[in-house]
Amino acid sequence: METTLRGVGVSHGVAIGEVRHMGTAVLEPPAKQIPADEAEREQGRARQAVEAVAADLNARGNLAGGEAQAVLEAQAMIAQDPELIADVDRRIAVGSTAERGIYDAFSHYRELLAGAGEYMAGRVADLDDVRNRIVARLLGVPMPGVPDSDEPYVLIARDLAPADTALLDPALVLGFVTEEGGPTSHSAILARALGVPAIVALPGAGELAEGTLIAVDGSTGELFVDPSEEKKAELTEAAAARKAALATSSGPGATSDGHKVPLLANVGGPADVPAAVEAGAEGVGLFRTEFLFLDDSKKAPSEEKQVEAYRKVLEAFPEGRVVVRVLDAGADKPLDFLTPADEPNPALGVRGLRSLLDHPDVLRTQLTALAKAAEGLPVYLEVMAPMVADRTDAKAFADACREAGLRAKFGAMVEIPSAALRARSILQEVEFLSLGTNDLAQYTFAADRQVGAVSRLQDPWQPALLDLVALSAEAAKAEGKSCGVCGEAASDPLLACVLTGLGVTSLSMGAASIPYVRATLAKYTLAQCERAAAAARAADTAHDARIAAQAVLSGE
């Protein structure tokens, strides 16, 4: 009998296939003592395993490229953390085996992160994955992971580690469903980059029996167990219709009555550029520069290295707009040379622009590198600061840009509610706003973006979040300036129409989402988008907001 489950749809498309579960195993090694004369040998085994796992993670990152590469390189840094390695050595020196020393040291660090509150919960999952990989290597057993199958399937997991998600084969993995995670978790972001239909935060998914036939709608978040022939035909027909619409969609983003909405790409480095160009991106709305700084957490990259990397991206969009976000370090992206090591709550501490203003040399070098990278290129360079709280922050950033001789527009990201509430004040210092809806939702609802239990509060359809978007867009319009969205909200085609109706002037998203958004926008007039936006804001819940907007756009 057909039943329906609902989670959070995070990657468009429909997948119909049999369930295969992510391999699991208890990788807790036995607690046995070793003689003192074996300690040095065991310490060597531990270090070799750590280096091998770090190398494997970096290799996977190089294969995957883009955002996945940055995530996996961060995991490799976790594996090689000097404090963790020192703790492992101490435990082995007093009698632990290499595998037990690794297990206990990582478990201790895990408790520290968990004790720091939910803000670090997402990092705990990454830490567990690194620990399991090292222990599996030391025990000589396969790392639990993606199942071995000759036939295509739908993958079910509690959550997916970045190292597994990044290298999924779309020819075999038709789609995936996780019990945990949220719309802005690593799994969701990487799923969109791969173009694999996906649902996250679906409790009970793990109880589906191996081999059960299911249908996954990554757009609506619905999972159909034992779907009827009619349901399969309905979903297949809808997917085919969407594919046909995509095939006929091309050119700049615009509503059906010609209101232009530039569709830009979010990129994590040069590796993401080909997909953005192929998707018809009109430029880059968010160029994340963290990938350059993750190579070495001890020091910032040289100006020369930065110039080379930035120029590769700028050259790909002649006459296009490229919006660069300066280094956003802190919270889940700590860097030894920049961020404090002992903050009780890093997500609410010295991160983003705050870190850069504390280290003006790092900011100056990056801005100078951007200026040099853009020299002689016919590109419209714009540079923005992350985590701007007020006009004082905005002025400090604009002053730094001018002092570095940067000939570009200076902007501020709206990720903190205070920035949305005081957007007009901030716009006295900068020339544009860019809404980072992922962090804006996190700070508006006090809901960590990595915690599945609060994923409903991370839903970008939340009316309170739409109110903050509207405030920012209205302020920008009053000042004659632009206000774009570069968070994951822009990748939802229906929500893209609502954002347009709220007054947002550009939308930036993962390259895979651009055709979907372009085709959907082209179906509606600006007036329809405005009515849909008003209906969504009048709702009380995210679910009701989506239903209300859909009703307006479908003419109900």
The pLDDT value recorded for residue 110 is: 76
Q: Which DSSP string corresponds to 184-244?
A: TSHHHHHHHHHT--EEE--TTGGGSPTT-EEEEETTTTEEEES--HHHHHHHHHHHHHHHH
How confident is the model over 182-203, as pLDDT tens digits? 776 667 777 777 778 999 889 8
Q: Work out the pLDDT band at 25, boundaries 50, 70, 90.
A: low
Torsion over CA: 423, 425, 429, 431 (sign): positive
**With 50 as the cut, is the pLDDT of residue 119 above it?**
no
φ, ψ dihedrals at 156, nearest 5°:
-115, 135
Looking only at the bridges linking them, the beta strands covering 14-21 and 213-217 are: antiparallel
Structure tokens belonging to residue 250: 């091309």
Other C-beta atoms lying within 10 Å of the C-beta of residue 48:
13
Q: Yes or no: say if 13 and 197 are a contact pair by the CB < 8 Å rule.
A: yes
For residues 128 and 345, the model is more confident at 128
The pLDDT value recorded for residue 357 is: 95
Q: Work out the pLDDT band at 311, boundaries 50, 70, 90.
A: very high
Q: Work out the pLDDT band at 99, boundaries 50, 70, 90.
A: very high
Mean pLDDT of 371-387: 95
How confident is the model over 486-507, as pLDDT tens digits? 987 898 899 999 999 999 999 9
**With 70 as the cut, is the pLDDT of residue 517 above it?**
yes
Q: Work out the pLDDT band at 146, boundaries 50, 70, 90.
A: confident
Give the Cα separation of 149 and 195 in Å (integer). 20
Cβ within 8 Å of residue 509, ≥6 positions away: 263, 264, 265, 266, 285, 486, 488, 490, 491, 517
Q: Work out the pLDDT band at 95, boundaries 50, 70, 90.
A: very high
How confident is the model over 49-90, as pLDDT tens digits? 999 999 888 888 777 776 677 778 878 888 888 888 999 999
Can you give the pTM of this predicted structure?
A: 0.70
Which CA distances in Å does 556 have to 169, 240, 521? 40, 24, 18
**With 70 as the cut, is the pLDDT of residue 217 above it?**
yes
Other C-beta atoms lying within 10 Å of the C-beta of residue 227:
19
Residues classed as catalytic: 186, 486
The pLDDT value recorded for residue 66 is: 67
Picking from 540, 541, 534, the residue whose alpha carbon sits closest to that of residue 549 is 534
The pLDDT value recorded for residue 384 is: 98
**With 50 as the cut, is the pLDDT of residue 118 above it?**
no
Mean pLDDT of 428-438: 96
> Which residue is it, tokens 């200026």?
371
Highest mean pLDDT among 123-127, 354-358, 467-471: 467-471
Percentage of the chain lying above the pLDDT 90 cut? 55
Mean pLDDT of the chain: 88
Picking from 69, 49, 67, 50, the residue whose alpha carbon sits closest to that of residue 59 is 69
Please state which of the ranges 284-298, 331-345, 493-507 shows the lowest mean pLDDT: 331-345
Q: Work out the pLDDT band at 150, boundaries 50, 70, 90.
A: confident
How confident is the model over 440-454, as pLDDT tens digits? 999 999 987 666 567
Q: Which DSSP string corresponds to 22-45?
A: PP------------GGGHHHHHHH
Q: Work out the pLDDT band at 144, boundaries 50, 70, 90.
A: low
**With 70 as the cut, is the pLDDT of residue 124 above it?**
no
Other C-beta atoms lying within 10 Å of the C-beta of residue 365:
17
Q: Work out the pLDDT band at 269, boundaries 50, 70, 90.
A: confident
The kind and range of the H/E element at 18 are: strand 14-21
